[in-house]
A and B are shown apart, each in its own frame.
Chain A
Amino acid sequence: MTDTEKQLLKIIADMDGEPQGAYNIRANGALQARSTTENIDIRTKEDKPGIDIIIKSGTKGETVHIPVIIDATGLNDLVYNDFLIGENCDVTIVAGCGIHNCGEKESRHDGIHSFFIGKNSRVKYIEKHYGEGDGTGGRNMNPTTIVNVGENAYMEMETAQIKGIDSTTRVTKAKVEAGGTIVIKEKIMTHGTQNATTDFTVDLNGENSGAQVVSRSVAKEHSTQTFKSCVNGNALCHGHTECDAIIMDDARVNAIPQVNANHIDASLIHEAAIGKIAGEQITKLMTLGLTEQQAEQEIISGFLK
């Protein structure tokens, strides 16, 4: 593994060397390393690019890392990863994609992740996207995440796109069964002329199902962001969607939250707030000795923490 690849792995998956437990490292469109455990199997798909991650019922306290790194210019990588999680599990899945593009051609990763979460299981899914490199070629990522939350299961999804991705369209579709909960926390920062679009659809189908979709984003310079979130309450359920954006310079942010109550006992809330950094916040931090730029930086990193 090159130093660049190691560095990317550190940033997107917090990995120093080989991780403990199950993992699958994909580099420049090919398998680079894999490890399985007694409870977690990883198999290469035969009909299309991608892997199946199979987690046995009753698996608790294990973590799976499945990072993707690209440091070749002009590579278009498309993968289908399916996560088949049994019943009564409690696992953490760390995904993420890092692109280092020094060339002139577009480097692109489109990951299509499908989760099937069994009854009473808890899953924490962490996904970080990051781009770097001084080439003129684009660094683009278009993740699609499809989640089926089983009865009384719980899925927490933390996604972050902090830097360097020129264009992203992130689509998340979730269906939640009785007693199940999905919590989605998204963090995005765009700069330059980047564009980020996120599109969430959550169907609360089962009685006492719940969803919380929270997006915090910062749009700088000439970048543009669109946030769409649609929560459908099809049963007795609780849904909450929230978009909170800081807009700076000449950036543009569109927020389109939508809640559809299709059942008399559906309780749904949406909130959206977009605004620049409050002047008094900057002033307060300046009275503590920071410059205006340092104050902005602290406010942004706190906001995206």
Chain B
Amino acid sequence: MISLKNISFSASSEAGEKEILKNISLDIEDGFVAITGPNGGGKSTLAKIIAGIYKPTSGKILLDGVDITDYSVTERAKAGISFGFQQPVKFKGITVNDLIRIASGRDITVSDACDYLSQVGLCARDYIDREVNGSLSGGELKRIEIASVLARGTKLSIFDEPEAGIDLWSFGSLINVFQKMHDNIGGSIIIISHQERILNIADKVAVLSAGELKAYGAKQEILPELYDSMNETCKVLTDNMKEVKA
């Protein structure tokens, strides 16, 4: 279980200090939790704080009761946290096979690589020797990114908008990937997403907006409220959207 205790995060910009996360407290137990909310609400920042990429300005993070607030990215990875980037990082020379090998922490065979890559809809034979660079499409990079998290098999996996850049065909498989992960590995899966289909398979949903935790609870309780509140946010926008639909 991961617990966030009064997490705040500020970043300085030309306009001065900006508070991006305000006193967030959240307990995420085993299961599938989706974090959603409007753009700029602080979701990605929160994910990066859990992975250790950003240090919170104040507050504490506990993993299974152990205070990991001061752990580096590496120490958190070793403690059992994985992070799938929203925008996968590109390399020069590092191949798909290298990435899966590093992620799994052991030398892997083609058949091992195949286990992970086939789950994200890629044929290992076609991909293992390819460099993780701009010659791969955005969707391919994204799937490889997800495969690298699968290969780690840790007790906590965080995905930052995994559906971004994934085509429609893959979307269904992606949902299966998360369900299978949940069944096989157990532990917690945190997914930041705007996609209704992803929110629908979550056990719990957290809503983050303007740096604050607006709601957190079982999907059945949160989702109806969420959709209602969305309709209230901006009348002009909803009216216009209705017109477009019509």
The answer for the CA separation of A285 and B83 in the assembled complex, in Å, is 10
**Looking at chain A, what size class is its interface with the partner chain?**
20 to 34
Taking a contact as CB atoms under 8 Å apart, the answer to whether A286 and B93 are in contact is no
**A289 in complex: contacting residue of B77, B89, B92, B94, CB < 8 Å:** B77
A217 vs chain B, min Cβ distance (A): 12
Q: A residues within 8 Å of B by Cβ?
A: 216, 244, 278, 280-281, 283-292, 298-299, 302-305
Q: Is B216 an interface residue when CB atoms closer than 8 A count as contact?
A: no
Taking a contact as CB atoms under 8 Å apart, the answer to whether B82 and A287 are in contact is yes
Taking a contact as CB atoms under 8 Å apart, the answer to whether A280 and B89 are in contact is yes
Taking a contact as CB atoms under 8 Å apart, the answer to whether B92 and A303 are in contact is yes
Q: For chain B, what secondary structure do more than half of its interface residues adopt (helix, strand, loop), or is it mixed?
A: mixed
| Known A283-B53, A298-B98; contact A289-B93, beta-carbon cutoff 8 A | no
Taking a contact as CB atoms under 8 Å apart, the answer to whether A286 and B74 are in contact is yes
Taking a contact as CB atoms under 8 Å apart, the answer to whether B77 and A302 are in contact is no
Taking a contact as CB atoms under 8 Å apart, the answer to whether A288 and B85 are in contact is no
The answer for the CA separation of A302 and B97 in the assembled complex, in Å, is 11
Taking a contact as CB atoms under 8 Å apart, the answer to whether B85 and A284 are in contact is yes
**B51 in complex: contacting residue of A287, A292, A299, A305, CB < 8 Å:** A287
**A292 in complex: contacting residue of B74, B83, B152, CB < 8 Å:** B74
Taking a contact as CB atoms under 8 Å apart, the answer to whether A286 and B148 are in contact is no
Most chain A CB within 10 A, of B85, B91, B152, is at: B91
Taking a contact as CB atoms under 8 Å apart, the answer to whether A281 and B105 are in contact is no
Q: What 6 A-B pairs come out closest when comparing CB atoms?
A: A302-B93, A302-B94, A286-B73, A284-B89, A289-B77, A303-B93
> Considering only CB atoms, which chain A residue lies closest to B80 in the complex?
A289
> Considering only CB atoms, which chain B residue lies closest to A284 in the complex?
B89
The answer for the CA separation of A278 and B94 in the assembled complex, in Å, is 13
The answer for the CA separation of A287 and B151 in the assembled complex, in Å, is 12
B207 vs chain A, min Cβ distance (A): 26
Q: Is B125 an interface residue when CB atoms closer than 8 A count as contact?
A: no
Most chain B CB within 10 A, of A287, A298, A302, is at: A287
| Known A288-B152, A289-B78; contact A283-B73, beta-carbon cutoff 8 A | yes
B157 vs chain A, min Cβ distance (A): 11
Taking a contact as CB atoms under 8 Å apart, the answer to whether A288 and B103 are in contact is yes
- Return 23 A-B CB contacts under 8 Å, by A number: A216-B92, A278-B89, A281-B89, A281-B91, A283-B73, A284-B85, A285-B102, A286-B74, A287-B53, A287-B73, A287-B77, A288-B99, A288-B148, A289-B77, A289-B78, A289-B102, A290-B77, A290-B102, A291-B74, A298-B94, A298-B98, A298-B102, A303-B92
Number of interface residues of B (CB under 8 A): 24
> Considering only CB atoms, which chain A residue lies closest to B51 in the complex?
A287
Residues of B close to A302: CB separation below 8 A: 91-95, 98
B232 vs chain A, min Cβ distance (A): 38
Q: Is B72 an interface residue when CB atoms closer than 8 A count as contact?
A: yes
Taking a contact as CB atoms under 8 Å apart, the answer to whether A244 and B77 are in contact is no
Taking a contact as CB atoms under 8 Å apart, the answer to whether B98 and A286 are in contact is no
**A304 in complex: contacting residue of B82, B83, B89, B93, CB < 8 Å:** B93
A107 vs chain B, min Cβ distance (A): 31
Taking a contact as CB atoms under 8 Å apart, the answer to whether B72 and A299 are in contact is no
Taking a contact as CB atoms under 8 Å apart, the answer to whether A289 and B95 are in contact is no
B66 vs chain A, min Cβ distance (A): 17
The answer for the CA separation of A302 and B130 in the assembled complex, in Å, is 12
| Known A284-B89, A288-B77; contact A299-B53, beta-carbon cutoff 8 A | no
A185 vs chain B, min Cβ distance (A): 12
Residues of B close to A286: CB separation below 8 A: 72-74, 77
Apart from A281-B89, A290-B102, 14 more pairs, CB < 8 Å: A216-B93, A244-B92, A286-B73, A287-B53, A287-B77, A287-B82, A287-B85, A288-B77, A289-B74, A289-B103, A299-B93, A299-B94, A302-B92, A305-B93
Interface residues of B in 196-215 (CB under 8 A from A): none
Instruction: Give per-residue flags for B64-92: 1 if the beta carbon is below 8 A from chain A beta carbons, else 0.
Output: 00000000111001100111010001011
Residues of B close to A285: CB separation below 8 A: 102
Interface residues of B in 105-135 (CB under 8 A from A): 105
The answer for the CA separation of A211 and B53 in the assembled complex, in Å, is 43
Residues of A close to B148: CB separation below 8 A: 288
Taking a contact as CB atoms under 8 Å apart, the answer to whether A288 and B102 are in contact is yes
> Considering only CB atoms, which chain A residue lies closest to B148 in the complex?
A288
Residues of B close to A281: CB separation below 8 A: 89, 91
